[in-house]
Structure 1
Amino acid sequence: MRLVPARPAAAQHNRRRAVAALVTAALGTLTGCGSISDAQQVMDRAHLVNELASRLDHASELTYTAEYQLPGGGRATIAQAQRPLRTVYIYPGGKFATTPDATIDCGTDSGAATCTLTAPPSPSTDATTLVNALRDRGVAPPTLVVGLLTAASLSSNTQIQQHDTTLAGEHSTCVNVAGVENSAASQFDACITSAGVLGSFKGTVDNKKLDISLISYAASVAADAFDVPTGVKIVDQRPKIS
């Protein structure tokens, strides 16, 4: 299951639908009791969210390693490489990676370090289950943040404040979001770097508190980043090829 934002064409299509819905809502206020200023605010919010979503989509085309600070002193790493596309998430007590050969899920739930290998992701694989699993492990995948930003843009009561900051030397655009309806998170803070990498995220998503902040960034990946760790028990559940 792929843990990177959707393919650019699909993501752009989804954002166009979201923006179209917002424009329709904005125009509707002009014929009702709303004002031109109200409509402009809706359209400005759509443009801002569209820009941030586009940056996160672009990250799926990058090779990079991003390290994040977690609450309590823990750290997490998100790394990605191209040709072929490989992605890895490393967090306290576990590692999750997708490669052309396997989906690798490592942890210590049973007391011993174990890595389970299953079939590699396919283009049609639904990443929702894995995104939720990573969320429960304290990691905010870019796909999760894209979904929350989109929900914020479609909620008529959303309040969004923007500011810029620098994280790990990377210029970032940040939004403070509140009042989101019909979303896994009614309020959250998110920052996206100019390169399109997730800079930070803080919020409660489906009753799970997430708080990560970028502390280092490199446009490269270690050669062994996507390998199965040494000295662990390996459970290979990939289909056998006869």
Structure 2
Amino acid sequence: MPSPAVRTVPWDPVTVTDGTDIPGFSALNRQPVCVRWTRSTTLVAMPAASTTLRMLSVSVIASLTVTGCQTLDDAGRALGHSDLVNDLAARMDGALTATWAAEYQLPGGRTASVAQTKTPLRSAYTWPDGKITVTQESVTRCETTAGRTACTVLPPELTAGKPSVLVWTEAEKRGLVTPPAVMGLLTDAALDPDAVITQSDTTVAGHHATCVDVKRSTGDFATCVTTEGVLGSFSGTLAGAPTEVTLSRYTESVDPAAFEVPAGAGVVDRRTATP
């Protein structure tokens, strides 16, 4: 498959004293220069399998709009933020096509789990009030109310080899924490010149993780992403509600039962029967 077309909106760079071309900034003793970068972006060509999450952040700097006067220090800080966001996005994007299972601790002692396999392609997100499972044969949505679970089996949907993308979309509709939602917050923070972003390293559930603490006028949050690209933790506000999740277990061995409907659930199959 040919690489995506690259569309570049040209600008006139000014060469600074150290020989580095930085668009829109002068080399006069790091003095502030009033500039404006428009929303026009340079789309970087990437393999199709790695664009899902990285496209959220690929234009972090290209789409930056500077409405006042900023110094080269500001530009360097923004570039550093975008590099960090792109690195975390690349990790999470790689995890979309891997085989793994994870368990998360939720507030109040509740738990949630995520499982996916590369062969066959399938993904599932289970939380206290429901479950979403996407396979090549079906999309199954389960809801639990008053101790009873009801599941609806629907026809399969195209997932471009990444069933988790559909799972995340369905999960976000229910206010659940997902990697794309976290990446959206990180991308917004990287675009905010007033955001204070602190990076650190730690271990979550026995796995190395890069952590980011963000302080913004619109709300603070903290998140960690493991080396494997799995969300290690998140604490902040999503969809207007405070939430928190922490990875408690990660494995690259997945139990097939993770993709089955919950035991005792009522099932309605709405797939069209084959004549």
Shorter-normalised TM range: 0.7 to 0.9
Runs of 4+ in 1 over 6 A off after TM superposition: none
Counterpart of 2:28 in structure 1 is none
Q: Work out the CA distance in 2 between the residues paired with 1:240 and 1:146.
A: 39
User: Conserved in 2, the CA contact under 8 Å of 1:134 and 1:141?
Assistant: no
| Pair 1:143-2:180 in alignment | yes
Match of 1:36 in 2: 72
Number of the residue aligned with 2:248: 215
> What's the CA shift for 1:200?
0.4
Give the CA deviation at 1:219. 0.9
| Counterpart amino acid of residue 20 in structure 1 | A
Q: Which residue of 2 aligns with 1:3?
A: none
**Residue type matched to 1:50 in 2?**
N
Which protein is bigger by CA-based radius of gyration?
A: 2
| Residue 237 (1) aligns with residue 237 (2) | no
In structure 2, how many angstroms separate the alpha carbons of the residues matched to 1:91 and 1:49?
Answer: 27
2:201–2:211 CA contact under 8 A, matched in 1: yes
Taking every aligned residue pair, what percent have the same amino acid on both sides?
A: 38
Tell me how far apart the structure 1 counterparts of residues 171 and 131 of structure 2 sit (CA, whole Å): 14
TM-score (norm 1): 0.82
Mapping for residues 127-138 of structure 1, pairs under 5 Å: 127=166, 130-135=170-175
Q: 111, 120, 130: which one pairs with 1:84?
A: 120
Give 1:239 deviation, angstroms. Answer: 3.5
For residue 123 of structure 1, report the CA deviation from its aligned partner. 3.5
Structure with bigger RCO (C-alpha 8 Å, 6+ apart)? 1
Structure with more of its chain in helix, by fraction: 1
Given the two structures, how large is their TM-score scaled by the length of structure 2?
0.73
When the two chains are superposed, the root-mean-square deviation of aligned CA atoms in Å is 2.5
Aligned pair in 2 of structure 1 residues 67, 162: CA closer, same or farther (>3 Å)?
Answer: same
Secondary structure at 1:108 match in 2: strand
Letter in 1 for 2:119: R
Distance 1:237 1:76 in 2: 26
Does residue 190 (structure 1) correspond to residue 223 (structure 2)? The answer is yes
* Structure 2, unpaired ranges of 5+: 1-47
1:166 is the counterpart of 2:203 = yes
The alignment partner of 2:51 has SS state of helix
Change (3 A) 1:199 1:15: same
Shift of 1:119: 2.2
1:179 to 205, 216, 228: 216
Q: 2:144 aligns with which of 83, 108, 115?
A: 108
